[in-house]
Structure 1
Amino acid sequence: MLDSHLKIKDEGRNQAWDEEFFKLLSETSLKILTQDPQQGPDGWPYLMTETLNSDGSDDQEATDTAQKIFHWLATRGIGMVVNPKRLPYPDFVLSYGMIWSFRETGFFIKYQSDLDQSKKLTLEDPSKAIFGEPTPEFLPLYVRKVLKDFFRDQSVFDAKVLMISADKQNYDLCFSLESLGNPKAEEHDGILEALAWFLPPHYSLALISEKNLPPFKSL
């Protein structure tokens, strides 16, 4: 049961704990604490939810299945917090990227031990790289809309992307620097951190110039 799983202390929570938590969470119902999303400490919008008591003493009018909640959040660019009243931290904070990843694939996170997301994309020989537009499976239309709305709020009206694989095995979702207004190099990490909230944690992202590359595609 989810409630007993959540009794495990923080020091006992690891990848195995996470995976079991995700499974149990997807099978349960949750109490919705606030009808409107709340801004988290990181500045992003989250729906606040609470796990139900095992004795069934909760107000059923304020509950819904986790599956239905995930479906609703996925088209709205909203994350979810599980048990925000827990101290010192909530039981779990799900980014928007984790939410829609589950809707599309059944996984909140895909653990890949060989993926080094801190590694910078380098194209020593572009002629040997693979380029293409993100597929609807990789970047669904409703996610593109959420991203476009985010960029529009930043006064970026035609963000462009391209999938690039330098080794023909691993792919980066690359955002055109020119389409983002050529931000300064010291701003790149902050931009990538913001974009990462909208995308599954296992996605590799990069900011790159369009120079000498195939045409980028508008979101």
Structure 2
Amino acid sequence: MSTIHFFDANKHSSGSMGNLEKTINLQHLLDIPLASRDPKWVADFLDNIDECNLQLAEPEVAVANDSFAYMNAHTVDAEKNFRAFVIRNELDTILANGFGLVINAHKDQPDWIFSHGDLLNLKLNNEFYTDDSAFSEHGKDFVLPKDESVLVGQPSEDILPTQSRMHIRSFLEYTGISNGKVMLIARNYENEELMTQDLIFNITPKMFATQNAYVQVMNTISWFLPRHYSIAGVDELSVESGFEQI
């Protein structure tokens, strides 16, 4: 990782202690070798990491190899004095700054890496990852037939908070897209069991020099959003209405 700027823990951190039981549980979990960490280990880790005591490392905020900025936290040494960093207590600050979070980056392989969207999902849905939702399945090609009846509108604050819009808008402006727009579409909206939804952006491959550049932009947008969200790019001129500024 390389330093992006200093996160002043004394200024921003509440310093309040986390859950001692979860802190001890986490220490035991991290004693388990990487090769032995099964789905139950993952579930136990996620159940404990949000409220346990961590400590900010040096540098406190860094840019990783994926070019995203992460807060850099590590597990605590019970024999040393430390200023507690608790994810739940610091969540609003992390989200406001557009960061992700890495746990024990000093190891050969970090114990965990949370994207910004993972942390946003914790804020919105009280869990890092959501398995069941109304969003479409990932990996399917997005096609919007002209004769298909869909419901279009703007995503609510519970789906795309104003702060998230700001982060995505700033990123798009950085890449040269000054007129980024978004809408939420719902298909089969008359049947609650069949209804699916997607976040649609007015971003298409023809706006970029290469397909890879387009993919990178869409991947970055995804990094800012919960992993279960399905997103797609659609030519603004192909849709009668629904798009609004991000």
Shorter-normalised TM range: 0.7 to 0.9
Pick one of 102, 108, 111 that aligns with 2:131. Answer: 111
Alpha-carbon shift at residue 127 of structure 1 (Å): 4.2
The aligned amino acid for 1:212 is V
d(CA) in 1 for partners of 2:73, 2:100: 11
How far off its partner does 1:36 sit? 4.2
TM-score by length of 2: 0.79
**Taking structure 1 as reference, are residues 19 and 71 closer, same or farther at Cα in structure 2, changes over 3 Å only?**
farther
Partner of 2:197: 171
Range that drifts further, 164-173 or 39-48:
164-173
Instruction: Determine whether 1:23 maps to 2:47.
Output: yes
Contact in 2 for aligned 1:121/1:172 (Cα 8 Å): no
Instruction: Give the structure 1 partner of residue 82 of structure 2.
Output: 60
| Conserved 8 A contact 2:136-2:198 | no
* CA distance in 2: counterparts of 1:35 and 1:90, whole angstroms: 15
C-alpha displacement at 1:124, in angstroms? 2.0
> Percent identity among equivalent residues?
21
Distance 1:176 1:125 in 2: 17
Instruction: Tell me which moved more, 32-41 or 7-16.
Output: 7-16
- Equivalent residue runs for 1:3-152 within 5 Å: 3-34=27-58, 36-53=60-77, 56-61=78-83, 63-87=84-108, 89-112=109-132, 116-152=137-173
Question: Structure 1 length normalisation: TM-score?
Answer: 0.88
Distance 2:222 2:129 in 1: 13
Number of equivalenced pairs: 214
Q: Which amino acid aligns with 2:95?
A: A
Tell me the distance in 1 between the aligned counterparts of 2:96 and 2:106: 26
Letter in 1 for 2:76: L
Cα RMSD of the aligned pairs, angstroms, is: 2.3
> Which has the larger displacement, 23-32 or 116-125?
116-125
Q: Per-residue displacement from partner, 1:78-122 (whole Å, max 9, x unpaired)? A: 0110011122x1000000111121122211111249963111211
Quote the Cα distance in structure 1 between the aligned partners of 2:182 and 2:221.
12
1:47-101 per-position Cα deviation (integer Å, ceiling 9, x unaligned): 1100123xx223323x3222123221011100110011122x1000000111121
Structure 2 residues without counterparts, runs of 5 or longer: 1-24, 190-194
What residue ranges of structure 1 are gaps of 5+ in the alignment?
none
Q: Does the C-alpha gap of structure 1 residues 167 and 49 become closer, same or farther in structure 2, counting only changes over 3 Å?
A: same
Closer, same or farther in 2 for the Cα pair 1:77/1:138, shift >3 Å?
same
